Amino acid sequence: MVLTAIQSTVRSSTTYQHLSDRVRYARQDISRAMPAIPGLPYLYVSPFFILFAIFLLFPAAYTFYLSFFNYVGASNEILLSIQMGPLLITIPEIANLEFVGLSHYERLIFRDSLFHRSLFNTSFIFFVQVPTMVILGLATALVLDAKFIRAKGLFRTLIALPVATGLVAYSTIFLLLFNGEVGLVNYLLETIGVGSIPWLGDAFWARITLVVAVTWRWLGYNMIILLAGLQTVPEQLYEAAEIDGASRWQKFRYVTVPQLRPVLLFVIVSSTIGTFQIFAEPYVITGGGPSNATITIVQYIYNQAFIQLNLGYASAVSVILVVLVSAMSIIQIRYGSES
Amino acid sequence: MQTQDKQEALWKFGSYIFLLVVTAIVLIPLYWMLVAATIPQSEFFSWPPRLLPGTHFLENFRALQENVDFVRSIGNSIIIAVSYTILSLILCSMAGFAFAKYEFRFKEPLFYFILATLVLPIQLLIIPLFLLMVQIGWTNSYLAVILPWAANPLGIFLMRQNMKAIPDSLLESARMDGATEFQLYYKIALPTMLPSLAALAIILFLNQWQAFLYPLVILQDPQMFTIPLALADLVGQQRVAFDQIMVGTSLAVTPIFIVFLTLQQYFIKGILSGSVKQ
């Protein structure tokens, strides 16, 4: 964890520690003799765990359960009337459901072309966006790490500024910028003679627009993490490489990249998870169009669940999404930690 | 030797150019948003493009407020984000304190179990949470948005990591002075942890301020819309009134920018706390 800065603020309270050194043994006796309040730690963690169980664990399990059912309508039974027999907890019925077994999964995997489309779109964004952003983020971090650059703090703050724009806020900005009629981007392109590009009207360009938007939003975030990673690379390694006559590229390839490996891995894995969860951008910028060319998996879940009310089917898509994302993360971590 | 110097100078020059280009690309959309918010939509076309903000801000804002109750949605966002942040800080710091400073049965398994849930995408939870809120009649309520994410696994993780740095001797000397166990948390741990609490608070606030998918599902009454929902609602209308949308976007983003620029060290600390170093 990158927490040294936080911890150093705590260490400033060393005056206490000095006092404590002198009476350490006496105090240890006292604290051992003190009547411990047996349930106290549980009292501290229980508010967290109650909410955690109701709003995180239960829904996660219920999604899995729901994926084997068809949603027929809201149930009249009272919620959370969990029958607590002797160690028997039945899953509460919050909807009238019809058991359909694995048929949702069968339909999803073999027959649902719109789902396949959303999977393709999400993968396209993933394969173009993640490498672009990681390379660009790394380049920016490397430049900002160079000794000769002035006003580093200012540049870092400005490049990180999009992190503070909300998903919807920045999406609306890009909706305006890439608009075919009033968009500034097309206006500039026309003026320099390239001609206007149908950003939101063409399948390929609509996907590219999403890639540009997502990269713009997350570049600064990844740059900050990579920059922090770069600053932990020991200076001696570069000096040793220099003595051996290493070129700039060789220093990057044989010192920076191996040292930065864990941080790079974190950036890649979290970007992967991020791109598979994209929703606000296509919802606002492209609306999933043109003709479903930019519909993402999460958007498909949203449409299935809250527009068509196929809650069971949408749950099955959610389960597939979790499996996909976990599998990708595990593969990346496995591959990335090999030395 | 001289060619090497030249190469070095070229390298430096190139680095600066790269940095300036990246910064410009990042800033131009934000600047254009501010310009667009202050001019009527008809002037979006003008060539050369408008470089300076106009004076049409109030007119655009009036049109926006007539179209959607934007002031109300700012109020909703503030209520939700502030109460969520406070509640989550209390829950996470209390539990984090227990995990860092006390010994109890099942401590390790409980903690690693919480950590494991960090990988769950929130989309997985949305459908059952929606059903749950419908059943208990909480849709279109603040509580429905605030409660579910208050038990934040990342928050508890950060709090535990940071609270480990509180010296045991500090707590013990307070005990000797007659502090109750709760005072240890309230009077010793919280004040010492102020910087990391601030970092977490900013991340929590920002997440809630920007949250979209879950509020979109739970809050269907325009009166209850948060800022992101109100903005998305504007985009969804028949005629896309970009001037109004840009006023709304600037109003949503500018306060956050000010917070970002003044408290950016905490922002960055918060971002970094979420990352893995080794």
> Are the Cβ atoms of A164 and B45 closer than 8 angstroms?
no
Of the pLDDT bands very low, low, confident and very high (cuts 50, 70, 90), residue A80 is: very low
Task: Give per-residue pLDDT as tens, A103-112.
Answer: 889 988 998 8
Q: Is the pLDDT of residue A38 over 80?
A: no
Amino acid at A41: P
> Are the Cβ atoms of A16 and B107 closer than 8 angstroms?
no
CA pair distance A47, B61, nearest whole angstrom: 43
- Name the nearest CA neighbour of B212 among A276, A297, A280: A280
**Cα-based angle A102, A106, A109 (whole degrees, multiple of 5):** 135
> Are the Cβ atoms of B125 and A306 closer than 8 angstroms?
no
Q: What is the mean pLDDT of residues B10-20?
A: 91
**If DSSP codes are grouped into helix, strand and coil, which group holds residue A72?**
strand
Measured between CB atoms, does B155 come within 8 Å of chain A? Answer: no
CB pairs under 8 A between A and B: 349
Of the pLDDT bands very low, low, confident and very high (cuts 50, 70, 90), residue A141 is: very high
Q: Are B271 and A225 in contact (CB under 8 A)?
A: yes
Choice between A177 and B119, residue whose per-residue pLDDT is larger: A177
Choice between B258 and B1, residue whose per-residue pLDDT is larger: B258
Q: What is the mean pLDDT of residues B35-49?
A: 76
Contact residues, chain B, for A94 at CB < 8 Å = 128, 131-132, 135
CA dist B181 to A50, A180, A183, B103, B156, Å? 22, 64, 61, 14, 20
> Are the Cβ atoms of B277 and A182 closer than 8 angstroms?
no
Length of chain B measured in residues? 278
ipTM for this prediction: 0.86
Task: Give per-residue pLDDT as tens, A208-230.
Answer: 999 999 999 999 999 999 999 99
Q: What is the mean pLDDT of residues B222-231?
A: 90
Of the pLDDT bands very low, low, confident and very high (cuts 50, 70, 90), residue A75 is: low
Distance from CA of B132 to the nearest CA of A (A): 7
Cβ neighbours for B108, distance < 8 A, ≥ 6 positions apart: none
Measured between CB atoms, does A323 come within 8 Å of chain B? Answer: no
Q: Is the pLDDT of residue B95 over 50?
A: yes
Of the pLDDT bands very low, low, confident and very high (cuts 50, 70, 90), residue A189 is: confident
Share of chain A above pLDDT 70, in %: 81
Q: Helices A311-337 and A58-66 meet at what angle, rounded to 10? A: 110
Q: Is the pLDDT of residue B2 over 70?
A: no
Of A153-167, B218-232, B264-278, minimum mean pLDDT range: B264-278
Contact residues, chain A, for B191 at CB < 8 Å = none
Q: Is the pLDDT of residue A45 over 90?
A: no
Residues 99-118 on A with a CB inside 8 Å of B are: none
- DSSP secondary structure string for all residues of A17-45: HHHHHHTHHHHHHHHHHS---TTHHHHHH
> Are the Cβ atoms of B11 and A248 closer than 8 angstroms?
yes
Substitution target from A22, A68, A134, A172 for chain B, most B beta carbons within 10 A: A172
CA pair distance A268, A272, nearest whole angstrom: 6
Contact residues, chain B, for A134 at CB < 8 Å = none
Measured between CB atoms, does A20 come within 8 Å of chain B? Answer: yes
Distance from CA of B53 to the nearest CA of A (A): 15
Choice between B55 and B154, residue whose per-residue pLDDT is larger: B154
Of the pLDDT bands very low, low, confident and very high (cuts 50, 70, 90), residue A191 is: confident
Of the pLDDT bands very low, low, confident and very high (cuts 50, 70, 90), residue A78 is: very low
- Residue linked to tokens 């070095």: B8
Q: Is the pLDDT of residue B236 over 50?
A: yes
- DSSP secondary structure string for all residues of B75-118: HHHHHHHHHHHHHHHHHHHHHHHHHHH---TTHHHHHHHHHHGG
CA pair distance B263, B13, nearest whole angstrom: 31
- Name the nearest CA neighbour of A162 among A224, A211, A220: A220
Structure tokens at B51: 């470089």
Q: Is the pLDDT of residue B272 over 70?
A: yes
Task: Give per-residue pLDDT as tens, A303-323.
Answer: 988 888 888 899 999 999 989
Closest chain B residue to the Cα of A231, Cα to Cα: B277
Q: What is the mean pLDDT of residues A178-183?
A: 80
Task: Give per-residue pLDDT as tens, A2-20.
Answer: 334 434 444 444 444 555 5
Structure tokens at B174: 């307070």
Q: Is the pLDDT of residue B1 over 80?
A: no
Q: Are B212 and B233 in contact (CB under 8 A)?
A: no
Q: What is the mean pLDDT of residues A188-195?
A: 81
Measured between CB atoms, does B237 come within 8 Å of chain A? Answer: no
Residues 161-190 on A with a CB inside 8 Å of B are: 161-170, 172-177, 179, 182, 184, 187-188
What pLDDT sits at residue A25?
A: 52
Share of chain B above pLDDT 90, in %: 21
What pLDDT sits at residue A28?
A: 52
Contact residues, chain B, for A9 at CB < 8 Å = 195
